[in-house]
Amino acid sequence: MSEVLGDFIRALRAADVRVSTSESIDAGKVVDLVGFNDRVTLRSALSQVLAKSEDEKQAFTETFDTFFSFEQFKERSQAANENDERESREAEEGGGDGGGGDPSQSCSAAGSGGGGTGGEPQGDSSSANMDLAGLLERGDQAKLQMALAEGARQANLNRIRLFTQRGMFTRRIMEIMGLDGLNEEIERRETSGNEKGAERLMEAREELRGQVRDYVEKQLEIFTANSGRQLREEVLAQMRLSNVDRSDMKIMRELVRKMAKRLVALHSRRKKVARRGTLDVRRTIRANIEFDGLLFHTIWKRTKVDRPKVMAICDVSGSVAQVSRFLLMFLYSLQEVLPDVRSFAFSGNLGETTDLFKREKLEQALSEALRDFGGGSTDYGRALEDFESLAMNDIDHRTTVLILGDARSNYGDPRSDILKLVHARARRVIWLNPEPRSMWNSGDSEMRRLSPYCDKAVTCSSLKDLERVVSELLRSAV
Amino acid sequence: MTTDQHGATGDIDAIRKGFETRNYICNSHIATSIFLAEKLQKPLLVEGPPGVGKTELAKATAEMVGKPLIRLQCYEGLDEAKALYEWKYGKQLLYTQVLKEKLGDLMSGAHGLQESMARLHDFDDTFFSEEFLEPRPLLKALWQPEGAVLLIDEIDKSDDEFEAFLLELLSDYQISVPELGTIKARTTPIVFLTSNNTREIGDALKRRCLHLYIPFPDTGLEQRIIAARVPEMELRLRTQLVAFVQGLRQLDLKKLPAVSETIDWARTLVLLHARELDAELVRNTLNVLLKFQDDIDNVDGEVNALVSKAVQAG
């Protein structure tokens, strides 16, 4: 497989496209079939082997376009087919030699416009350097581009990982391209009185430096753009939600969407569980007609695993509001696997927000819910009373009740008797508390009186916690 | 190498033209996928919204390469017995009865159980042989001597287990029948899998396939499709019609009209001898294009604006 392709696949992986080994082998075959000549065909062909979902296709197209873009030298270039030339050259370069050969040879090969057949070995490096000066003088952009790409290859630019490495790589590439010789040439001209020529070369040198720098920066972006984000996402997923900065909200939303998507993929198939021991008589007889009515092949009754009806009661006061926000975000991103979600928000009074979330966009609905029900001192007793009158009759054996709150009721009666009733009717009651367990029951927290009526009471303060809870909600929904 | 590459572009173009003569109009992206599927001998997983011509692609390919199309429609609960093979139980039962009758003749002269068993073993074991095998679509495709085009339609509707069971077929073009051993394809078939994305397809399956996503066509392509499928429609009406449908796809609808709906609508308008698009006509025939009452109600208010825009385009 050619080196260019290897680099490209590395760049794809950095852009969150999962490419397996067998897929990269396929990609190699595709390149052999299609070649580097026709950019559009190559792109559509590679996209079919390497990117296997809509999201990946998009990431693929973006990466392909940046990776195979050659704009630096374009503005001054006359050669229209410069791209093709470089692509095919790169292909041959990558496939042909395994990185062997000394710099001067490859450089001069590039300089003489060779097609990989290469010039005869040239011991001293001066000819290559002469070439750089010559190339700059002539303004041969296509060849310069080749020399740049070749230099980048030899400098192992594809290993660049850190922002601070830019300068070093720029210098190294310049050196490989023949910076020393160029400087000598400038000096020679200065001493020989050809000041105009020297100045011209100096200008060209600075311009080249800028171009090389741009190129290095672009490569840095290709190979590392995503690794920073991936790290950030990982950190954010484990951070306490109340500490998440406002500026990170965009990443957080994206993260919730991603997690929800993963959960949907995991749980979208309606599971069936065989109840071994109960014979499905009707279907068994039908299946055994072909055996002359002998009961040869038995079929057992199966139970479909039902999707849970979820009622989420969210405290939207103060510090809990942030966690509620993400819980609701989660639940409503799971429409496909949780079609029946009812949500309630409270701090003092409790109100149903199901319609609000159906009607409005998520962000809008969240802020409206916070405005309508947020603020005011929390009163779990009153909230549960309101919940009883609103929804108690709709709770049945398939309902899971999720309560999210810190159980700090400002020393009011938490009305645990209502929760007891809810517990008796519902399949499960799960309490999510954003505070760490050691803080429960301290001060005005009423966890001690409320938690006996929950099937489960867990701490839930980060996105990871939320994901775990929701995943469990989906899994054990029998 | 260079000649090969030109050959590739040429081949892709030839495929595109081949489709065109068979009234399947596509862009070079789709043609490329067929080219790759043929050359790499890999199955092609086609995804996209309903009605963009995923199934049609397989049909057109079968017609172009001149091989029979064998189609397997997936649904929940589809199992090997319906997809792969089944034993011909009736025949097997008859066979045992015949055997029972003949047994006396065969065993005459044999002394003792030992000898009878030995004699029985001398016969071929025909009970589980290809003679009693009833091939279902997948096996049929492997058995075709000249190869076939196998279409596994709407794979997303099938169960996970069925997906796993397909893996052997898709990577090695062979299947294992416990009683007989491995059956290999006589000629490698061209395999299409289609999916409407109602659920995520497993990674293992995706890895074995080429992946083609067919989106809604752009204006130019859709016009050419209509021109090929409904040739009796005049150019002006066709332009207007396509512009209208393209405008409709910009709206927020439950189900966007796909190419198949555009074709149906074009046929409807031709039947009605329409010469030009107007709001009245559109309102009366909108149910051909939109399949949800909600959508029809939503679009109702926009019809005038969309029609005037479309008429300008024409």
- Residue B32 is nearest to which of A29, A37, A44, comparing CB atoms? A44
A35 — contact with chain B (CB < 8 Å)?
Answer: yes
**Does B63 share its domain with B162?**
yes
- Residue B9 is nearest to which of A20, A23, A38, comparing CB atoms? A38
Record: contact A41-B32, CB cut-off 8 A = yes
B89 — contact with chain A (CB < 8 Å)?
Answer: yes
**Residue A47: per-residue pLDDT:** 92
A352-361 burial, b at 16+ Cβ within 10 Å, e below that, comes to ebbebbeeee
Report A:181-220 residues touching B (Cβ under 8 A): none
Q: How far apart are CA A252 and CA A255, in angstroms?
A: 5
A305 — contact with chain B (CB < 8 Å)?
Answer: no
* Amino acid (1-letter code) at residue A77: S
**Does B52 share its domain with B171?**
yes
**Does B206 share its domain with B153?**
yes
CA distance A291 to chain B (A): 7
- Residue B40 is nearest to which of A18, A26, A40, comparing CB atoms? A26
A81 — contact with chain B (CB < 8 Å)?
Answer: no
**Does B50 share its domain with B124?**
no
- Residue B4 is nearest to which of A35, A49, A264, comparing CB atoms? A35
Indicate whether B136 belongs to any domain: no
**Does B76 share its domain with B89?**
no
pLDDT at A464 over 80: yes
CATH number for position B26:
3.40.50.300
Indicate whether B237 belongs to any domain: yes
A55 — contact with chain B (CB < 8 Å)?
Answer: no
A34 — contact with chain B (CB < 8 Å)?
Answer: yes
pLDDT at A444 over 70: yes
Phi and psi torsions of B190, nearest 5°:
-90, 125
Q: What is the mean pLDDT of residues A453-458?
A: 88
Record: contact A290-B90, CB cut-off 8 A = yes
Q: How far apart are CA A208 and CA A175, in angstroms?
A: 12
**pLDDT tens digits, one per residue of A250-305:** 777 778 877 777 777 666 665 666 666 688 888 888 888 777 777 777 888 777 66
Instruction: Give the domain-ending residue among B195, B213, B231.
Output: B213
CA distance B30 to chain A (A): 9
pLDDT at B253 over 90: no
B210 — contact with chain A (CB < 8 Å)?
Answer: yes
Q: How far apart are CA A237 and CA A327, in angstroms?
A: 13
B252 — contact with chain A (CB < 8 Å)?
Answer: no
**Does B161 share its domain with B66?**
yes
CA distance B112 to chain A (A): 32
Q: Are B236 and B314 in contact (CB under 8 A)?
A: yes
**Does B224 share its domain with B99?**
no
Any alpha helices (H) in A374-430, and if so which ranges? 380-391, 416-425
**Residue B226: per-residue pLDDT:** 92
Kindly report the average pLDDT of chain A as a whole number.
Answer: 76
**Residue B267: per-residue pLDDT:** 93
Comparing A72-86, A152-166, B139-153, the range with the smallest average pLDDT is A72-86
**Does B235 share its domain with B300?**
yes
Q: Which residue of B has its CA nearest to A58?
A: B213
Residues of chain A in contact with residue B39, where contact means CB-CB under 8 angstroms, are 33
Q: How far apart are CA B205 and CA B167, in angstroms?
A: 6
**Residue A112: per-residue pLDDT:** 36
**Does B76 share its domain with B159?**
yes
Comparing A218-232, A416-430, B32-46, the range with the smallest average pLDDT is A218-232
Comparing A64-78, A361-375, A402-416, the range with the smallest average pLDDT is A64-78
Q: How far apart are CA B159 and CA A271, in angstroms?
A: 10
Indicate whether B268 belongs to any domain: yes
**pLDDT tens digits, one per residue of B267-280:** 999 999 888 888 88
Residues of chain A in contact with residue B205, where contact means CB-CB under 8 angstroms, are none
pLDDT at A477 over 70: no
Q: For tokens 């070995």, what's the residue?
A: A121
Q: Which of A12, A25, A41 to mutate to test the interface with B (most CBs of B within 10 A)?
A: A41
**Residue B70: per-residue pLDDT:** 94
Record: contact A292-B159, CB cut-off 8 A = no
Choice between B176 and A240, residue whose per-residue pLDDT is larger: B176
Share of chain A above pLDDT 90, in %: 4
Any alpha helices (H) in A35-139, and if so which ranges? 39-50, 54-67, 82-96, 103-111, 126-138
Q: How distant is the alpha carbon of residue A227 from its chain centre?
A: 10
Q: How far apart are CA A27 and CA A7, in angstroms?
A: 12
**Does B89 share its domain with B199?**
no
- As a residue count, chain B comes to 314
Share of chain B above pLDDT 90, in %: 37
Indicate whether B155 belongs to any domain: yes
Structural domains in chain A plus CATH codes = 3-227 (no CATH), 272-304 (no CATH), 309-475 (3.40.50.410)
**Residue A262: per-residue pLDDT:** 74
B1 — contact with chain A (CB < 8 Å)?
Answer: yes
**Does B298 share its domain with B228?**
yes
Q: Which residue of A has its CA nearest to B212?
A: A48
Indicate whether B141 belongs to any domain: no
pLDDT at A211 over 90: no
**What range defines the domain where residue B125 resides?**
85-131
Instruction: Give the domain-ending residue among B182, B213, B244.
Output: B213
Choice between B149 and A135, residue whose per-residue pLDDT is larger: B149
Instruction: Give the domain-ending residue among B183, B213, B243.
Output: B213
Domain count, chain B: 3
Record: contact B199-A22, CB cut-off 8 A = no
What tokens does A194 get?
Answer: 């050809």
A335 — contact with chain B (CB < 8 Å)?
Answer: no
Record: contact B213-A30, CB cut-off 8 A = no
**Does B164 share its domain with B51?**
yes
Indicate whether B261 belongs to any domain: yes
Record: contact A41-B199, CB cut-off 8 A = no
**Is residue B223 very low, low, confident or very high in pLDDT (cuts 50, 70, 90)?**
very high
Q: Are A38 and A23 in contact (CB under 8 A)?
A: no
Q: How distant is the alpha carbon of residue A231 from its chain centre?
A: 11
Q: Which residue of A has its CA nearest to B204?
A: A20
Q: How far apart are CA A82 and CA A165, in angstroms?
A: 29
B184 — contact with chain A (CB < 8 Å)?
Answer: no
Total-model pTM = 0.69
**pLDDT tens digits, one per residue of B82-110:** 888 888 888 888 888 888 888 777 777 77
CA distance B157 to chain A (A): 10
What number is the ipTM of this complex? 0.82
Indicate whether B137 belongs to any domain: no
Indicate whether B294 belongs to any domain: yes
**Is residue B42 very low, low, confident or very high in pLDDT (cuts 50, 70, 90)?**
very high
Kindly report the average pLDDT of chain B as a whole number.
Answer: 87
Q: Would you list the DSSP string of B120-145?
A: HHHS---TTSGGGEEE-HHHHHHH-T
CA distance A137 to chain B (A): 32
Q: What is the mean pLDDT of residues A216-243?
A: 74
